[in-house]
Amino acid sequence: MKAAPLWDRIPLAAVGLLWAAIVLGGLGYTWWSALWSLAADPAAMPASPIWVWAALVATGGPMAWAVARSAQAALGYRRRELDRRQRLAHALEPMTALVGAPCQRLQHCDTPELAAFPWGFWRPEIVIADALWSRLGPAERSAVLYHELSHVRRRDPAQHAILQVLAAGFGWAGLAKLFHYYLVQRELIADDLAIAAAGGQKAPLVRALLATVAAGGAPLAPAPVGLGGVWTCRLAHLDTAAWPHQEARVMGRRLLMTTLSATVLVAQSLLFLCH
């Protein structure tokens, strides 16, 4: 099995936060510099160059948009999670009789959905629907557990929330693409752990996936990244161990260009203040 690229060994939520901080830092310092130049001499404000006012609008507008959209996305995410918790909290029960379970924090729920997912934000637990558990054999159950264990270890619920919020506010700066790439990345890493736990055998994981889809389970969320959607990317990875290396390189180049752009903005502001 091929190793994941270096980019995929870094928590993408941290990359997203750094990315957003660079964007806000560059825009914010330029906006503050223009505002300070106007406020330094109030008498000269009406005669200030038009490009100073343009800088205030050009930097303040995207900042206000990004902050407002991020706040709206955060509130929407919190509302959806509270609704989900109200729907499922009464149905969750600890799983106390699991053979070969890799994690002690296990719950099950009596719902018709064929689903397994991490439950919780910072310290998630693994939740498995009874309908899915009853359709799987021992090997397939182990594959599902180890797949979800990867999400728990990587704190994917928290990473998902952070990147989803940042994508809503900073999608224009490349963070929407980063979020879409993360949706693929987390599944490939989780599949690798499940395969490694099965001694390199892919069949148990494939059978678990087919049982979910063939029985009418919810399709995997689409994400137009790299090799295609999440489902297409997982199938290609299971078949050839391929990773979307090209998309990882694109992410790296975009982050570098964002950093350089922010550096240029800050340098221009410093030169303006010095003069």
Encode pLDDT of 73-116 as tens digits.
Answer: 999 999 988 887 777 766 666 665 444 444 556 777 777 777 78
| Residue 172 resides in a domain | yes
Distance of CA 229 to the CA centre of its chain: 15
| pLDDT attached to residue 219 | 44
Any idea what DSSP says for residue 224? -
**Is the per-residue pLDDT at 234 higher than 70?**
yes
**How do residues 8-32 score in pLDDT, each as one tens digit?**
677 889 888 988 988 888 888 888 8
| Residue 1 resides in a domain | no
Residues 6+ positions from 217 with CB-CB distance below 8 Å: 113, 114, 115, 132
| Residue 173 resides in a domain | yes
Maximal CA-CA distance, the chain: 79
| Residue 101 resides in a domain | yes
| Residue 114 resides in a domain | yes
**Is the per-residue pLDDT at 189 higher than 70?**
yes
Residues 245, 8: contact at Cβ < 8 Å? Answer: no
Q: Is 112 helix (H, G, I), strand (E, B) or coil?
A: coil
**Is the per-residue pLDDT at 220 higher than 50?**
no
The angle at the Cα of 194, spanning 192 to 195, to the nearest 5 degrees, equals: 65
| pLDDT attached to residue 167 | 94
Within 10 angstroms of residue 33's Cβ, the number of other Cβ atoms is: 21
| Residue 216 resides in a domain | yes
| Residue 195 resides in a domain | yes
| pLDDT attached to residue 104 | 54
Report the pLDDT averaged over residues 47-69. 82
Q: What is the number of domains present in the chain?
A: 1
| pLDDT attached to residue 1 | 46
CA atoms within 13 A on the CB side of 211: 22
**Does pTM top 0.85 for this prediction?**
no
Its domain, for residue 259, covers 6-274
